[in-house]
Amino acid sequence: MIIRTLASIALLSAACLPAMAQYDDSANVNTAFAQGKALEKPQTTNEYWTCAVFWHVWSEFAADEFGETMMARLDPALGEAAAQAAYAYWEKEAALKMGLGMGELDAETELFLEQRTDTAWGIAEGVVWGEDYSFVSILGQCAVPAGQ
């Protein structure tokens, strides 16, 4: 009985995987990104760090989770290379605003970054499942200023 139940679950899972792989919510992601771009831009050091963390998390998971087809439909600023560049930009800006080199972060900042990273990964899950696009809206807020 247990083996038959497990076999049924495996068959159902295998049948659902192609449907999930074909799911494309690039329009929702692009809309959330555009809405975020219309919001107030980061101004404080902590906001700069938050931007760096969110771009870093996006660069780590988006291409793997969404695949090439969906990534090609997203705003170019959400591409993997652009995300890595945005991460580097905000990280540099935050360190400069603090008057520090990257190897000179204090314990309080390191703790803040650790907490923000945990938060970012948690919110990113909503994008993957197509339930919550607030993560992408934050990326829009944190879009690298033109000319940078």
Q: What is the DSSP string of the chain?
A: -HHHHHHHHHHHHHHHHHHHHH---HHHHHHHHHHHHTSPPP-SHHHHHHHHHHHHHHHHHHHHHHHHHHHHHS-GGGSHHHHHHHHHHHHHHHHHHHT--GGG--HHHHHHHHHHHHHHHHHHHHHHTTS--HHHHHHHHTPPPTT-
Instruction: To the nearest 10°, report the CA torsion of 113, 118, 30, 19.
Output: 150
The mean-pLDDT minimum among 31-35, 124-128, 138-142 falls in: 124-128
Domain contains 132: yes
Of residues 39 and 14, which shows the higher confidence score? 39
pLDDT, tens digit, 9 for 90 and up, residues 49-85 = 999 999 999 999 999 999 999 999 999 999 999 999 9
Domain contains 148: no
The per-residue pLDDT of the chain, averaged, comes to: 84
Tokens representing residue 143 in the block: 């879009």
Domain contains 44: yes
Domain contains 16: no
Domain contains 14: no
| Nearest one of 86, 84, 85, 67 to 29, comparing CA atoms | 67
The mean pLDDT of 102-120, rounded to a whole number, is: 88
Domain contains 20: no
The mean pLDDT of 9-28, rounded to a whole number, is: 52
Domain contains 75: yes
pLDDT at res. 23? 62
Of residues 147 and 112, which shows the higher confidence score? 112
Band of residue 106 on the pLDDT scale cut at 50, 70, 90: confident
Q: Report d(CA 139, CA 108) in Å as an integer.
A: 24
Range of the domain at 118: 25-141
- pTM for the whole thing? 0.81
Q: Are 52 and 139 within 8 A, CB to CB? A: no
> Does residue 91 register a pLDDT over 80?
yes
Quote the number of domains for the chain.
1
Domain contains 56: yes
